[in-house]
């Protein structure tokens, strides 16, 4: 079989609706396989508009509204033996406050006619870029180098978040903003550039070139939103705590150690772990929710991340879609407590999140599912306008300049996609 890159190029050129769940940057825990799939004209896809409260079915060259809740429509339409692929944007739950996306569909799901699976070999030198040589660290910006003064809009939003935190309305608020770029980039070429710059366990590409619901999602996310296994175990791996890579092995190790020990970061991570333990307890067997890994440092091309794992066993009366809904959106992208903090987010954030802070992956009618959190991702409607989200968790101990710097270097690898080829 041909290599996945060549195969993907051919599929994307011939099929307006297609996807690539890319295992090229995967880890042992996420599986090293790629799934590439496509739809013919008479295969169904769904799009969700949170502004209109409409789920639209696209099939056979026609489009018609089929519901007002994307979770409910997916629950109804996913049959045993089927797999659906797509994303749920931040505004996918109608019972939670979230601004609709005026630019892109708030969710897209596709049932492919054909899929191809590619297995990726494990790199002999290991997963860590540091193990593969310092050259992979060159050009990675540090927080101090990115530390331009926070713009007034961000500073004002940060101040309002602090007011809510000190009033006791939230323990932690994930404050984000949307960046917009204009570039005449082919989405396929842009994705191939992104996967070179920032390979990650939940890398992937979605193309939904359908009038009225055009969307391209280019993901290089390291974070697991939810895994549902065949034996009905539910697992999530929240990330809370990020630091850039160092330019030398010594500096890199110092960054890693600081991330592992810094009290503010550990407090942020623990708050989100507690939030997710609560979310899982709503759908899992009593006594089955556990934290098998707490605050472990994972290393990627451009950052170190502080990651925990929360796991439980689904109750017999809970479907996969019900479990995914209960967790949505990811607690690492809201803060705690979830509902009140989302109300704060809606008040202070000036831009919609769209697909950012949502989930992207696959769901099976037989029960299993695997989705990543949409972070480190680019989105476009094919018009030449691109959007991406960035941000971080804010607590009472946060510093506005440091938080702004963090949001900048989180976006840095994504913005390199728009640099002219060298």
- Residue 316 to residues 217, 283, 367: CA-CA distances in angstroms? 34, 9, 12
Assess contact for 222 and 376: CB atoms under 8 A: yes
Q: Which two tokens stand for residue 107?
A: 């969710």
Residue 160 has pLDDT above 50, yes or no: yes
Sign of the CA dihedral running 253, 255, 259, 261: positive
Alpha-carbon gap, residue 61 to 54, rounded angstroms: 18
Instruction: Report the pLDDT averaged over residues 212-230.
Output: 96
CB 370 within 8 A of CB 362: yes
The whole-number average pLDDT for the span 343-366 is 97
Tens-digit pLDDT profile for residues 62-101: 999 999 999 999 999 999 999 999 999 999 999 999 999 9
* Residue whose entry in the numeric block shows the structure tokens 């002219």: 420
Dihedral pair phi/psi, residue 75, rounded to 5°:
-55, -40
297 three-state secondary structure: strand
Q: What is the pLDDT of residue 302?
A: 78
Q: What confidence tier does 7 reach under pLDDT thresholds 50, 70, 90?
A: very high
Q: What is the mean pLDDT of residues 241-268?
A: 89
Indicate the length of the chain as a whole number.
422
On the question of pLDDT at 41 being above 90, the answer is yes
User: pLDDT per residue over 372-388, tens digit each?
Assistant: 999 999 999 999 999 99
Coil, helix or strand at residue 375: coil
Catalytic (active-site) positions: 223, 240
> Is the pTM for the entire model greater than 0.85?
yes
List, for residues 282-323, the tens digit of each pLDDT value. 999 999 999 999 999 988 877 899 999 999 999 999 999 999
CATH number of 4-418: 3.60.120.10
In what helix (H) or strand (E) does residue 313 lie, and over which residues does it extend? strand 303-313
Rounded to an integer, the average pLDDT of 261-267 is 90
Query: What pLDDT score does 52 carry?
Result: 98
Cβ 12 vs Cβ 207: under 8 Å:
yes
Pair 49, 56: CB distance under 8 Å: yes
The mean pLDDT value for 132-139 works out to 37
């Amino acid at each position: 079989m041909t290599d996945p890159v060549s195969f993907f190029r051919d599929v994307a050129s011939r099929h307006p609706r297609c996807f690539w769940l890319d295992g090229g940057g995967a880890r042992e825990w996420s599986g090293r396989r790629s799934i590439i799939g496509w739809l013919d004209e008479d295969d169904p896809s769904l799009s969700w508009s949170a502004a209109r409260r409409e789920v639209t079915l696209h099939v056979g060259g026609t489009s018609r509204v089929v519901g007002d809740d994307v979770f409910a429509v997916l629950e109804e339409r996913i049959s045993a033996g089927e797999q659906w692929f797509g994303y749920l944007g931040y505004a996918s739950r109608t019972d939670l406050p979230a601004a609709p996306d005026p630019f892109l569909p708030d969710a897209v799901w596709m049932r492919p006619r054909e899929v191809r699976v590619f297995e990726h070999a494990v790199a002999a030198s290991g997963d860590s870029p540091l193990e593969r040589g310092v050259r992979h660290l060159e050009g990675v910006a540090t927080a101090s180098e990115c530390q331009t003064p926070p713009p007034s809009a961000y500073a004002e939003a940060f101040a309002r978040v602090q007011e809510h935190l000190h009033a006791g309305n939230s323990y932690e608020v994930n404050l984000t903003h949307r960046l917009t770029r204009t570039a005449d980039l082919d989405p396929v070429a842009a994705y191939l550039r992104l996967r070179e710059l920032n390979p990650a366990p939940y890398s992937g590409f979605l193309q939904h070139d359908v009038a009225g619901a055009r969307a391209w999602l280019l993901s290089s996310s390291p974070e697991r939103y939810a895994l549902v296994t065949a034996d009905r175990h539910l697992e999530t791996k929240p990330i809370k705590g990020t630091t850039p890579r160092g330019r030398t092995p010594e500096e890199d190790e110092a960054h890693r150690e600081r991330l592992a020990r810094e009290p503010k970061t550990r407090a942020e991570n623990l708050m989100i772990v507690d939030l997710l333990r609560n979310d899982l307890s709503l759908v899992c067997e009593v006594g089955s929710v556990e934290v098998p890994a707490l605050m472990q440092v994972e290393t990627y091309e451009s950052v170190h991340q502080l990651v925990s794992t929360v796991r439980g066993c689904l109750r017999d009366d809970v479907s996969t879609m019900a479990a995914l809904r209960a967790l949505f959106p990811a607690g690492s992208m809201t803060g705690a407590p979830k509902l009140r903090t989302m109300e704060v987010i809606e008040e202070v954030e000036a831009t919609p999140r769209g697909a950012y802070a949502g989930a992207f992956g696959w769901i099976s009618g037989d029960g299993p599912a695997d989705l990543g959190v949409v972070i480190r991702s680019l989105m476009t409607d094919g018009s030449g306008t691109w959007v991406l989200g960035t941000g971080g968790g804010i607590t009472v101990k946060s510093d506005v300049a440091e938080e702004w710097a963090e949001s900048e270097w989180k976006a840095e690898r994504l913005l390199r996609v728009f640099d002219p080829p060298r």
